[in-house]
Chain A
Amino acid sequence: DQQVKQNSPSLSVQEGRISILNCDYTNSMFDYFLWYKKYPAEGPTFLISISSIKDKNEDGRFTVFLNKSAKHLSLHIVPSQPGDSAVYFCAASATGTASKLTFGTGTRLQVTL
């Protein structure tokens, strides 16, 4: 049972435009959410996170939005740059219970010139 879902395996966006990556979750115990970025042959790199007490967190070009009622979060990248081309993983955890991060299957973002 996939508790964290990224339904779009790939996304192509033109340089300078907005990239929107989506993530849905089913476990209502999740209260902390993270986005990781992964380049080939490297480990995932932490990008941005959000606690369930917030609905938005912004860090430079990256903004994460959380809609708890819909169990949905999204990552916005504005403006998109060619160096943003990578696989993006959504992850979730439940504080005080399991110690593990539960990851989605990833979305491959391609930023074209």
Chain B
Amino acid sequence: GAGVSQSPRYKVAKRGQDVALRCDPISGHVSLFWYQQALGQGPEFLTYFQNEAQLDKSGLPSDRFFAERPEGSVSTLKIQRTQQEDSAVYLCASSRGLAGSREYNEQFFGPGTRLTVL
């Protein structure tokens, strides 16, 4: 496809369940980002990959959050033992540039996965 795709679009989990959210970036995009967007807020950075290397994970809220991009394309965000405060929209974005380039900053976003933890 032409854009960033994410699946599932909606996920309902019981508290304590593990979830896995998938992101397919735009083909050829080197940089991949995950953001968390709570209701009424702007997206907040979680983590950044350059190809398969996770270069920044400073935004991950706890060690229950884990992200990977093993082959430098598709990425998965995993949340273990979900809590109610994890309920949010999880956005994935990709860009063609490397950190420091203008193209790096122009990120293309997917539609997001809305996670609801009951």
Contact = CB atoms under 8 A, between A and B. Distances in A.
Interface of A: 4, 32, 34, 36, 41-46, 49, 51, 89, 91, 93, 95-96, 98-106
A102 B93 contact: no
Contacts of B58: 98, 100
A21 B74 CA distance: 35
Q: Which A-B residue pairs are the 3 nearest by beta carbons?
A: A103-B42, A43-B109, A100-B45
A102 B45 contact: yes
A66 to B, nearest CB: 15
B48 interface: yes
Given A43-B110, A43-B112, A93-B105, A100 B33 contact: yes
A44 B109 contact: yes
A86 B56 CA distance: 31
Contacts of A34: 105-106
B56 A99 contact: yes
Interface in B73-118: 91, 93, 99-100, 102, 104-112
A62 to B, nearest CB: 14
A46 B107 contact: yes
Contacts of B18: none
Contacts of B40: 105
9 contacts: A32-B105, A41-B111, A42-B111, A49-B102, A49-B106, A96-B100, A99-B33, A100-B33, A101-B45
Contacts of B93: 43
Contacts of A36: 109
A101 B93 CA distance: 11
B56 A46 contact: no
Contact of A101 (B41, B55, B107, B112): B107
A89 B56 contact: no
A105 B43 CA distance: 8
Given A99-B55, A99-B56, A100-B48, A44 B43 contact: yes
Contacts of B55: 99
Given A43-B91, A43-B93, A44-B43, A101 B105 contact: yes
